[in-house]
Amino acid sequence: MKIKEKTKISKAVKAVIIVLVLAFVFAGAAYLTIYLSGYRVVRYQSPDGETRFLGKVDKNGQPQSGTVYFADGRRAQLDLKNNKIEYSDDSVYVGQTKELLPDGKGKLTFVNGESYEGDFVAGEMTGYGTYIYSPAIGDKYEGFLKNGKREGKGKYTWSDGSYYEGGFKDDMKHGEGTFIWANGASYKGTFVNDVKDGRGVYVFANGDKYEGDFVSDVRTGTGTYTWQNGEYYTGEFKNNMMDGRGTYYWTSGRSYEGTFKENKIVWELS
């Protein structure tokens, strides 16, 4: 009885070994077929993690066509024969690449109709280029960007014809610039975090003009306000109004120098 049991166990072990050997043989054959067909797994390390490529490579082992798996979970289809990357969110990039990422000159088109054409660095919109917003928005930006945000000199044009040309920082108007509104109003001066802040000249659509200080988009400090009829005030401002010491000049030649409060003269008794 024991001899029969040993024989059965021996046959079972042999069968397992044969199955394992055949599995290894088939796996090896499959791997060899894939290898000879030019398919490889290529890995790249970046600060965000590992990017993997599975697909065909050229004779130098460089990826040509296949699937890219990014560290952040995104996927893309690579076709370097046509310099194209098609992402899983249906955006498409055509242009120069480096280590499976847009790098150099190229164009990225989004599914909502927006597009960017210009410089890329390590997959980011960095350098000089043109960003066209969706047809529903109709805006356009041409200038410098850093990691996908407006940074440096550039020009942003709105769909109504208004435009800003000057400095940008972190996607906001920042530094010296000029804003022209569609209604004819304009501002030339300093911006801080997207609003007028510092010295500047604002010309109203009706022809009035203010030249002086702004704080957080409001006329505050010292400046000169000139009305289209020729009258003007020079002095202190607060919350967009004449407020503090100043002088008002009428076209008749008469003037008043003294204190103003919320756009009104504070008559002083002598």
Reported pTM: 0.82
Please state, in angstroms and rounded to a whole number, the distance separating the CA atoms of residues 95 and 250: 63
pLDDT digits (tens, 9 = 90+) for 130-169: 999 999 999 999 999 999 999 999 999 999 999 999 999 9
Please give the structure tokens belonging to residue 226.
């000139």
The half-sphere exposure of 254 on its side-chain side, counting CA atoms within 13 A, is 2
**b/e code 145-160 from CB counts within 10 Å (16+ = b):** bbeeebbeebbbbeee
DSSP H or E run through 255: strand 255-261
Measure the CA–CA gap between 56 and 66, rounded to whole angstroms. 6
User: Mean pLDDT, the chain, as a whole number?
Assistant: 88
pLDDT tens per residue, range 69-93:
988 889 999 998 899 999 999 999 9
108, 92 in Cβ contact below 8 A?
A: yes
CA-to-CA distance for 35 and 245, rounded, in angstroms?
85
Confidence at residue 86, expressed as pLDDT on a 0 to 100 scale: 96
pLDDT in tens, 166-183: 999 999 999 999 999 999
Helix (H) or strand (E) holding 139, with range, is: none
Q: Output the CA torsion 197→201→206→208 (10° steps).
A: 110
Distance of CA 227 to the CA centre of its chain: 40
Residue 123 DSSP code? T
CA–CA gap between residue 178 and residue 162 (Å, rounded): 11
In tens, the pLDDT along 30-84 reads: 344 444 445 768 888 877 788 888 999 888 888 898 999 988 889 999 998 899 9
Q: How far apart are CA 246 and CA 242, in angstroms?
A: 8
3 has a pLDDT exceeding 90: no
- Print burial letters for 95-111: b (CB count within 10 Å at least 16), e (below 16): bebeebbbbeebbbbbe
